[in-house]
Amino acid sequence: MENKLPGVVNGEKNFKSGFVAIIGAPNVGKSTLLNQILGQKVSITCPKPQTTRNRIVGIYTCDTSQIIFLDTPGIYTRKKDKLDEFMVKTALKAASDVDVICLMVEATAKKNTHDLNVIKEISRVSAPTILLINKIDLIEKQLLLPIIDKYRNLETFSAVVPISALYRDGIDITIKEIEKLLPYGPKYYPDDMWTDQPERFIAAEIVREKIFHLLREEVPYSVAVTIDYFEEVPDKNLLKIGATIHVEKKSQKGIIIGEKGRMLKEIGKLARLELEQIFGTRIFLELWVRVEKKWRKDERLLRKLGYR
């Protein structure tokens, strides 16, 4: 499948391009890694697991290559509902359609069954795999080599790179290792493009991220966000966005609205401020909350809410 002939882009020979899936267990740091590589926020982040639900595309371009990254939902074996099944299928589908896989695990001396299960799943895919051992900032240095050896003995990886996505440690090495495995080819996107996600999708994700940060327990996991309107008002340097927050229970609706609407106002304020930074314009953001009973278990409702 790999093109052995050097590519020529804008007069430059040996240009490489291709698709790379970032795969791993929930909460291993995949979205943080993508955002750090791009220097832009394209994927929402939260300390809670299962924040990413869809495949997120991020585009990294430099003088020698263009890498199209696919940030994927966390892979886990205990699937409780249709949404869980959708997320795992999305991640495995991404892994089967790329040139390179970046498999992320956590730097821990203890046995991590989540990481081992992901390695088992990915071993069935033919694409070359780079193992990224993340969160090395959380362990003592003398523990790192035994951890690297432990994973090297499990599977044959094209490279093993210890990183701290949070502090950008090891990211340059990761890019170089990816480039070694990419085929020669053209640029797929313009130099200044860092994602192909629709603006409506980005707006919905930012609203959902604020809910993950502000609320606890099961409420964030029962939330989906859809965009009702997205209207530009150029003469006022204004973008008007209307979004609906979907929940499964009436009690969850009450929690999100909060006493006298305070929680909903806080969600809206934080989302609006970040969206203004992303889009570079003033934002008018209007939020509603609606109950969609058991939407996580209903395939028809999942499709309606954007999980296809």
Q: How much is the pLDDT for 255?
A: 94
Chain segment 6-25, per-residue pLDDT in tens? 555 554 568 999 999 998 88
- The pLDDT of residue 111 is 65
The model's confidence at residue 69, banded by pLDDT at 50, 70 and 90, is: very high
Say how far apart CA 205 and CA 50 lie, in whole Å.
Answer: 13
Does the pLDDT at position 107 exceed 50?
Answer: yes
pLDDT confidence of residue 180: 96
The band of 158, judged by pLDDT with boundaries at 50, 70 and 90, is very high
Residue 270 has pLDDT above 90, yes or no: yes
Phi, psi values for residue 18, rounded to 5° = 170, 180
* pLDDT of 153: 82
- Tokens representing residue 217 in the block: 């327990």
Residue 51 is predicted with a pLDDT of: 63
pLDDT at position 4 is: 47
Angstrom distance (rounded) from CA 130 to CA 71: 15
Q: pLDDT tens across 188-242, in order?
A: 999 989 888 889 989 999 999 999 889 877 787 789 999 999 999 988 999 999 9
If one compares 76 and 238, the residue with the highest pLDDT of the two is 238
Highest mean predicted confidence (pLDDT) among 81-85, 98-102, 104-108? 98-102
Residue pair 150/111 in contact by the 8 Å Cβ criterion: no
For residue 138, CA distances in Å to 79, 143, 242 come to: 29, 11, 40
What value does the mean pLDDT take over residues 124-144?
89
pTM over 0.75: yes
**Domains of the chain by range and CATH?**
7-181 (3.40.50.300), 199-304 (3.30.300.20)
Say how many residues make up the chain. 308
pLDDT bin (cut points 50, 70, 90) of residue 102 is: very high
Worst-scoring range by mean pLDDT, 34-38, 163-167, 215-219? 215-219
* Distance separating alpha carbons of residues 173 and 133, to the nearest angstrom: 13
Q: Which residue has 């609606």 as its token pair?
A: 290
| Residue 77 reports pLDDT greater than 50 | yes
Closest CA to 162 of 149, 148, 152: 148
pLDDT-based confidence at residue 2 (cuts at 50, 70, 90): very low
The pLDDT tens digits of the residues spanning 279-305 come to 899 999 999 999 999 888 888 888 888
Percent of the chain with pLDDT over 90: 51
CA dist., res. 138 & res. 264, Å (int): 35
Interatomic CA distance for residues 301 and 280, integer angstroms: 33
* Low-confidence winner among 87-91, 156-160, 198-202, 229-233 (lowest mean pLDDT): 87-91
Residue 131 has what pLDDT? 94
What span, in angstroms and rounded, lies between the C-alpha atoms of 18 and 31? Answer: 19
User: What is the average pLDDT value for the chain, to the nearest integer?
Assistant: 86
Q: How far is 85 from 87, CA to CA, in rounded Å?
A: 6
Where is pLDDT greater, at 114 or 153?
Answer: 153
Residues 261, 269: Cα–Cα separation, whole Å? 12
DSSP code string of 127-176: S-EEEEEE-GGGS-GGGHHHHHHHHHTTS--SEEEE-BTTTTBTHHHHHH
Contacts of 290 (CB under 8 A, 6+ apart): 244, 245, 246, 247, 253
